[in-house]
C-alpha cells in the first residue's frame, strides 16, 4: 500500500509538471499568433492608407515613422526583410546604414517559401532561454508578396516556473501527510488481515503430536480463505487422530506378537534339553543298577534347573507385560535411594545427596527397582580387570523435580547401540532378558518423568532420572 502510494504520488507529480509546461508552451504559441495577427492587421491598415507606391523598396519609407508606433502598441520587436532575406527596416534601435545588417539564413528562407501558409516559426535557445522567431509574408491587395515580416518573441517562463515550484511544494506537503496516513492504515490493515493467520500459526506451533489429543482450531471470525484453511487443518487433525489410534493398535498387536515369539523362543530353549534328558534316562533306566539313586538325583537336578530357567523367563516377561499397580505414597527419595544401595556389597559405589530430605510421591517398590537396576547395570558395565572402579549415585532437587544421577566409569555404550538401549529384549550381556531398562523407563514415564543418558566409549555412562515432586 505504501509502495502504491509512493508510485501514484510520483506519477501525479510528473504528469502535473508535464501538463503545466505543456500549457506554458501552448500559451506562448497562441500569444505569438495573436500578436502576429494583430500586427499584420495593423500593417495592412498602414498599407491601405499610404500614399507611397506598394513596392518592396518603398517599405522603409512607408514604415519609417510608423514602425516604432506599431512596435510600442503591440510590445513587439518588428523587422521587415525583402524577399531575398535582406533587412529593410527594424524597430530595434542601433542599426546603422554602414554596419553589417542581419539577414535571414537561406535554410529558413527555403522553408518559408515551401510552406503552404507562407509562415514559419523558428525556435532558438540562448543561455537556456527559449526564443521564437516568426516569419511571414506581407502582401498587397492583390496578394502580391511585398516583404517578409519577422517578429522575435522571448518566452518568459518565470511565471510557470514559479507555478511548478509552488505546486511541488504544496504537493510535497500533501504527499507527506498521505504517506503517514498510508503507513498507519497499512499497519492496522495488515494487523487485521494477519490476526487470523497469527491465531492459526500459533495454534499449529503449539500442536504436539505426541500428546494424547491434538487441539483443533476454533475461530469465530475469519475470511473465507482463512476458514477454508482452518477446516483443512481440522480435517487433518481428525485424520491424524484416526491414524494415531490405528497406529497405536497396530503397535500393540505387533508388540504382543514379538512378545509371543520371544516367550516361545525362550521357553523352547530349555524344553529341548529336558526332552533329551528324559529320553536318555528312559533308555538307560535299570532298576538293578547300583547307581540308580545317583542317576535319579542327576536327572532331577537337570530338570529342576531347566524348570527354573523357564520360570525366570516367564517372570521377566510377566513383569514387563503388566506392571503391578502403583502404590503411591509420600516418601523421602534420599532415604529410599540409600536403602536400595544397601543391598550392594561393592566398595566402588559412592552415594551423595545435596539434601537429607526430598519428599515426593512415588511407589516405594518401583523406586527401589529403578535404582537397583541402574546401579546393577553400572557395575556390570565396568570390566572385571579394570582398576579404580567407580559408580556414583547423586540425588538432588532442581526446581519442582527430583534428579537422580547414576554414573559409572565403565566401557560405555557403542554408538550403534545407543538408539536401542531402551528397546525391550535388547541386551549386550550374555545373560538376562534385556528388559530392565525398558521396565524402568515405563515406571518413570508413568510418573511423568524422563530418563536419559550420556555415554563416552571407554570413559563411562551417566543415566539421568527426573520426575516431578507431586504435592
pLDDT in tens, 276-287: 667 777 777 777
Residue 464: pLDDT band (50, 70, 90) is very high
pLDDT in tens, 111-150: 888 888 888 888 777 666 678 888 999 888 788 888 999 8
pLDDT in tens, 311-339: 766 666 665 555 555 678 889 999 999 88
Distances (CA, A) of 52 to 45, 63, 376: 13, 10, 143
For residue 375, pLDDT beyond 80: yes
Return the ∠ at Cα 368 (arms to 365 and 373), rounded to 5°. 125
283 DSSP 8-state letter: H
Please, which residues bridge with residue 129 across strands? 126
- Find, among 429, 432, 435, 420, the residue nearest to 318 by Cα: 435
Give the residue with greater pLDDT, 436 vs 15.
Answer: 15
Residue 450: pLDDT band (50, 70, 90) is very high
Query: What's the rounded Cα separation, in Å, for the pair 64 and 299?
Result: 161
pLDDT in tens, 335-369: 999 888 887 878 889 999 999 999 998 888 888 88
The pLDDT score that the predictor gives to residue 350 is 92
Tell me if 214 sits within 8 A of 208, measured CB to CB. yes
Tell me if 204 sits within 8 A of 231, measured CB to CB. no
- Find, among 12, 14, 5, the residue nearest to 179 by Cα: 5
For residue 177, pLDDT beyond 80: yes
The pLDDT score that the predictor gives to residue 267 is 67
For residue 110, pLDDT beyond 80: yes
CATH of domain 328-468: 3.30.565.10
Tell me if 440 sits within 8 A of 467, measured CB to CB. no
Tell me if 450 sits within 8 A of 432, measured CB to CB. no
Where are the CATH 3.30.565.10 domain residues in the chain? 328-468
Tell me if 393 sits within 8 A of 405, measured CB to CB. yes
Where are the CATH 3.30.450.20 domain residues in the chain? 2-161
Beta 359-363 vs 460-468: how paired, if at all?
Answer: unpaired
At the fourth CATH level, which superfamily is domain 2-161? Answer: PAS domain (3.30.450.20)
Rg over CA atoms, the chain: 56
Tell me if 136 sits within 8 A of 36, measured CB to CB. yes
Strands (E), 280-400: 328-332, 349-353, 359-363, 391-398
Query: What's the rounded Cα separation, in Å, for the pair 340 and 450?
Result: 20
427 DSSP 8-state letter: -
pLDDT in tens, 246-273: 887 777 677 667 766 666 666 666 666 6
Residue 425 φ/ψ region, left for φ over 0, alpha for ψ in the -120 to 50 degree band, beta for the rest = left
pLDDT in tens, 383-441: 888 888 899 999 999 988 999 999 999 888 888 888 778 876 556 554 454 567 888 88
Cβ atoms within 10 A of the Cβ of 290, count? 7
Tell if the pTM clears 0.95, that is, is over it. no
The residues, any chain, with a CB within 8 Å of residue 4's CB and separated by 6 or more, are none
The torsion angles phi and psi of 162, rounded to 5 degrees, stand at: -65, -40
Query: What's the rounded Cα separation, in Å, for the pair 375 and 143?
Result: 130
Tell me if 372 sits within 8 A of 343, measured CB to CB. yes
Mean pLDDT, rounded, of the chain: 80
Give the residue with greater pLDDT, 142 vs 221.
Answer: 142
Query: What's the rounded Cα separation, in Å, for the pair 439 and 369?
Result: 9
Query: What's the rounded Cα separation, in Å, for the pair 185 and 50?
Result: 76
The pLDDT score that the predictor gives to residue 97 is 45
Tell me if 306 sits within 8 A of 270, measured CB to CB. yes
Tell me if 151 sits within 8 A of 76, measured CB to CB. yes
Distances (CA, A) of 50 to 58, 61, 81, 87, 261: 11, 10, 19, 21, 138
Amino acid at each position: 500500500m505504501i509502495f502504491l502510494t509512493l508510485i501514484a504520488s510520483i506519477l501525479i507529480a510528473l504528469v502535473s509538471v508535464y501538463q503545466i509546461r505543456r500549457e506554458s508552451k501552448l500559451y506562448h504559441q497562441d500569444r505569438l499568433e495573436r500578436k502576429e495577427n494583430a500586427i499584420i492587421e495593423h500593417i495592412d491598415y498602414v498599407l491601405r492608407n499610404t500614399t507611397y507606391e506598394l513596392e518592396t523598396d518603398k517599405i522603409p519609407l512607408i514604415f519609417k515613422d510608423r514602425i516604432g508606433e506599431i512596435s510600442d502598441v503591440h510590445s513587439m520587436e518588428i523587422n521587415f526583410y525583402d524577399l531575398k532575406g535582406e533587412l529593410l527596416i527594424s524597430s530595434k534601435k542601433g542599426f546603422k546604414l554602414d554596419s553589417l545588417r542581419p539577414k535571414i539564413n537561406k535554410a529558413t528562407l527555403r522553408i518559408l517559401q515551401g510552406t503552404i501558409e507562407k509562415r514559419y516559426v523558428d525556435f532558438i535557445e540562448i543561455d537556456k532561454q527559449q526564443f521564437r522567431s516568426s516569419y511571414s509574408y506581407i502582401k498587397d491587395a492583390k496578394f502580391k508578396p511585398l516583404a517578409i515580416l519577422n517578429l522575435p518573441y522571448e518566452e518568459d517562463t518565470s511565471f510557470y516556473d514559479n507555478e511548478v515550484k509552488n505546486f511541488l511544494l504544496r504537493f510535497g506537503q500533501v504527499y507527506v501527510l498521505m504517506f503517514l496516513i498510508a503507513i498507519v492504515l497499512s499497519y492496522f490493515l495488515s494487523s487485521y488481515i494477519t490476526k487470523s493467520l497469527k491465531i492459526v500459526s500459533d495454534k499449529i506451533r503449539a500442536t504436539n503430536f505426541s500428546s494424547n489429543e491434538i487441539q483443533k482450531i476454533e475461530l469465530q471470525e475469519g475470511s473465507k480463505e482463512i476458514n477454508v484453511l482452518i477446516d483443512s487443518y481440522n480435517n487433518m487433525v481428525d485424520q491424524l487422530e484416526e491414524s494415531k489410534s490405528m497406529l497405536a493398535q497396530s503397535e500393540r498387536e505387533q508388540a504382543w506378537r514379538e512378545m509371543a515369539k520371544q516367550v516361545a523362543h525362550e521357553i523352547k530353549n530349555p524344553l529341548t534339553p529336558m526332552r533329551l534328558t528324559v529320553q536318555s534316562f528312559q533308555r538307560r533306566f535299570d532298576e538293578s543298577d547300583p547307581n540308580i539313586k545317583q542317576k535319579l538325583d542327576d536327572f532331577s537336578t537337570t530338570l529342576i534347573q531347566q524348570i527354573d530357567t523357564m520360570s525366570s523367563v516367564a517372570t521377566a516377561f510377566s513383569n514387563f507385560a503388566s506392571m503391578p499397580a502403583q502404590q503411591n505414597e509420600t516418601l523421602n527419595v534420599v532415604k529410599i535411594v540409600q536403602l536400595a544401595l544397601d543391598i550392594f556389597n561393592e566398595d566402588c559405589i559412592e552415594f551423595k545427596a545435596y539434601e537429607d530430605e526430598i519428599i515426593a510421591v512415588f511407589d516405594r517398590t518401583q523406586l527401589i527397582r529403578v535404582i537397583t537396576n541402574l546401579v546393577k547395570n553400572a557395575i556390570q558395565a565396568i570390566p572385571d580387570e579394570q582398576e579404580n572402579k567407580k559408580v556414583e549415585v547423586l540425588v538432588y532437587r532442581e526446581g519442582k523435580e527430583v534428579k537422580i544421577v547414576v554414573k559409572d566409569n565403565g566401557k560405555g555404550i557403542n554408538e550403534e547401540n545407543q538408539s536401542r538401549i531402551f528397546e525391550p529384549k535388547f541386551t549386550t550381556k550374555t545373560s538376562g532378558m534385556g528388559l530392565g531398562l525398558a521396565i524402568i523407563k515405563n515406571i518413570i514415564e508413568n510418573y511423568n518423568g524422563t530418563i536419559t543418558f550420556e555415554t563416552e566409549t571407554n570413559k563411562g555412562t551417566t543415566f539421568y532420572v527426573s520426575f516431578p515432586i507431586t504435592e
